[in-house]
A and B are shown apart, each in its own frame.
Chain A
Amino acid sequence: MPLLTFFINVFVPGKFTRSGFCAIASIAISLLCSLLIFIAMWNQPFIHVQTNWFTIGSWSLNVGILLNNLSVLMLPLVSGIALLVHIYSTKYMQGDPYLHRYWAYLGLFCFSMLGLVIADNLLLIYICWELVGFSSYLLIGFWFTRNAAVQANKKAFIMNRLGDIGFLTGIMILFSQFQTLDVISLFGEKGLVGNAIVTGGVWTSGLHHMPAGWLTFAGLAFFLGAVAKSAQFPLHTWLPDAMEGPTSVSSLIHAATMVAAGVFLLARIYPLFNDTVLIVIAATGAFTAFMAGTIALTQNDIKRILAFSTISQLGFMILAMGVGASASSLFHLGTHAFFKCLLFLGAGAIIHEMAHLKEKTGLDYDPQDIRNMGGLRKYMPVTFVTMAIASLALIAIPLTSGYLSKDAILIESFEWAEGKGGWYRLVPYSAMITSWLTAFYISRLIFKVFFGKFRLKEKVGLHHVHEAPPAMKYVLVVLSLFCLFPVFSLNPFMFEDAWVIQGFPQADNMTRINAFHTVVPAAVNLISVFLIYLCFLWYGSNKPAPDFSKNGLFKFSQQQWFFDKAYNTVFVAGVLSFSRFLYQFDLIIVDGIVNLFGTIGRGFARISDWFDRNIIDGLVNLIGYLAGKLGKLIRKFQTGRLQQYLVTMLLIILTLFIYKYYTAAI
């Protein structure tokens, strides 16, 4: 336990660091701590520490730290990737005028992600979830002078807000049903969710009842949160745009932190999902994977290709969650973190060089466009080798980590579909097609960038291009080691031997079908190898590749399935025209009513003004006039002459006397 507090304490200052060294030191210490925790805690019973945060009425909210296999796996993963990205950034971001801001944001980002991982409470998870979204907003818009970056971070933020609505709705439903937000008591082995029964359309837990539809609804709401965070269809469009941030940030977002948060959330609250939600999850994952794969085929921006590849791989993870293979999903999350981080950092190194070249030669070209690259193999050998390894892992060629995890997902989804039959088979088949697409687009990228001849050679000499600086180079090498199988499993062909898989409860709802274990990897790999060869033929040299750009499907893919356009027309334009309508409504109806009221008010005011002036003022004036007259009258008596007063008194007395006398007489 002191270890834990130590870990927290060390990490918090990382948030406020003003220099790269401090940031690296703090993230390194947190990596060390998380490794220690990992070694101590892996496959041990979970640890759960709580403290009272606040009390409302008789209900008190406890917050604390929860360390089970899931979080201790995520801890070193997140902090490890973050450390490598930090080291890489020292070179990549060198000379940026706002560097201290960059480190601070990066620290906040890592902090919120680690907090998300160890939080034991849905509310706390939500807070960290928001923090992750917010810091990613900051990082994507880091170069805030670029308009595209600002647009992109707004888009990312809004998309994430949509997901947050779902998350919050889910939290509220769960809270009203179970009166607690504690992860363990909700989703633990004898948790409330597990004990709640659905009978006859009523969802019962203890004394609380709800229509069973709410269970599905809560699951879907949480899934919406994960969809936004993990960039699934239909909220995926923020991720490619998020490429506007620095490449190291993209790498961090894509590999270990932001997008993994969605998958992590699904794993945390897994017991909540009923069959309907799981099918939705699986279908969404499969569709997203397929869609992003097709889009990645035709993109030319190196980072965009990788972004769609990430969406596609996340689709795989979500799919795995949906088919009940949460262990494989997390396994894929881990392996994907390493090779996608590596791919991004490698791409970052290339972009770095290309941008330098651009500065030196003064030519105007896009340093991220793969059509401008080529033949870089000879000049950046380390980058080439490491990226090639990462690509192989992404394609899931045997002996790499990706093979283990991706085949795990594929095989389990086949088994799941076999158990269900019918239309459910679409899911594994689309996943398989997607993995072939993966092979094609990533080898297209590799061949275009590293093979053939440098396409700008006529304009610039190649002598400027050289290997990335050591800080970047060694990071790539370290990451590439993690893409190989021994890190995860001693047996390179059997995913079930991987320690990550064994660390999680196995999905027991499907029967093991041995045929799939041989046929599926074989089919995937044979066709993948064929596709890689095809790519080599097409893109490996500078010979013109077959031109598909006239093809409708090509355009469909090039335009990213027109999602951005559709969103623009449907939502943005819709909102705009709606607001125009509201503007007109305001102008005519609301303003009209207001003006009418104004006119009526003025009329009333005029009447009351006249009334005031003539009646009220008249009365007041009359009284004043009378008082004045009376005063003047009385004033005349006040002469100050003693004798006149005496005469008056005498007259009055005489009057009274006479009056008295004569009334008595009468």
Chain B
Amino acid sequence: MIPLAHFMLISAALFCIGLYAVLSKRNAIMILIGIEFMLNAAILNFVAFGKYDKLHMGGQLFALFAIVLAAAAVAVSLAIILNVYTYYKNIDPTVIDQLRD
């Protein structure tokens, strides 16, 4: 039986990697991938904590639900990135700074 702490460590590591990718990458796709990392870390936590709810399988079900949602979110995000690219001819988030004052 793998202790819970391992799951948690892996999940924290995944989250930190994802966070790093989101904050440091110069490519929108890579940022998206970072987000997926963080999402998967959260899902991993769901599954891990699901062992305390064996009867209703709440954690597992919620993980499935989140995966489906993540897939939809990725689809939408990619579409946005595609539109951003056609508009700016670029997907570097540091260049797209029209929100500045």
Contacts and interface: CB of A to CB of B under 8 A. Distances in A.
Interface in B30-46: 31
Contact of A641 (B19, B22, B24, B94): B94
A640 B19 contact: no
B62 to A, nearest CB: 23
A641 B93 contact: yes
B100 interface: yes
A646 B18 CA distance: 13
A665 interface: no
B97 A643 contact: no
A640 B22 contact: no
Contact of B22 (A635, A638, A639, A643): A643
Contact of B23 (A638, A640, A647): A647
Contacts of A635: 101
A638 B100 contact: yes
B97 to A, nearest CB: 3
B98 interface: yes
Contacts of B24: 643
Nearest to A634: B101
B2 interface: no
A639 B100 CA distance: 5
Q: Closest 6 CB pairs between A and B? A: A640-B100, A640-B97, A638-B101, A640-B99, A642-B93, A643-B23
Given A638-B99, A639-B100, A650 B19 contact: yes
A640 B22 CA distance: 16
Interface of B: 19, 22-24, 31, 93-94, 96-101
A643 B94 contact: yes
A646 B23 contact: yes
A635 B94 CA distance: 17
Contacts of B96: 640, 642
B96 to A, nearest CB: 8
Contacts of B93: 641-643
Interface residues on A, range: 10 to 19
B97 A641 contact: yes
B85 to A, nearest CB: 15
Interface string A636-659: 001111110011001000000000
A297 to B, nearest CB: 110
Interface in A469-501: none
A640 B97 CA distance: 4
Which applies to chain B's interface (DSSP): helix, strand, loop or mixed? loop
Contacts of A641: 93-94, 97, 100
A139 to B, nearest CB: 89
Nearest to B98: A640
B90 to A, nearest CB: 13
A638 B100 CA distance: 5
Contacts of A638: 99-101
A646 to B, nearest CB: 6
A635 B19 CA distance: 26
25 contacts: A635-B101, A638-B100, A638-B101, A639-B97, A639-B100, A640-B96, A640-B97, A640-B99, A640-B100, A640-B101, A641-B94, A641-B100, A642-B93, A642-B96, A643-B22, A643-B23, A643-B24, A643-B31, A643-B93, A643-B94, A646-B22, A646-B23, A647-B23, A650-B19, A650-B23
A638 B22 CA distance: 19
Contacts of A643: 22-24, 31, 93-94
A210 B10 CA distance: 120
Contacts of B99: 638, 640
Contacts of B94: 641, 643
B41 to A, nearest CB: 15
A192 to B, nearest CB: 94
A652 to B, nearest CB: 14
A647 B93 CA distance: 14
A646 B31 CA distance: 12
A138 to B, nearest CB: 84
A14 to B, nearest CB: 90
A474 to B, nearest CB: 109
Nearest to B28: A642
Interface string A608-650: 0000000000000000000000000001001111110011001
Nearest to B93: A642
B70 to A, nearest CB: 18
A639 B94 CA distance: 9
A643 B93 CA distance: 8
Given A641-B94, A646-B23, 13 more contacts: A635-B101, A638-B99, A638-B100, A639-B100, A640-B97, A640-B98, A640-B99, A641-B97, A641-B100, A643-B23, A643-B24, A643-B93, A647-B23
A639 B22 CA distance: 17
Contacts of B19: 650
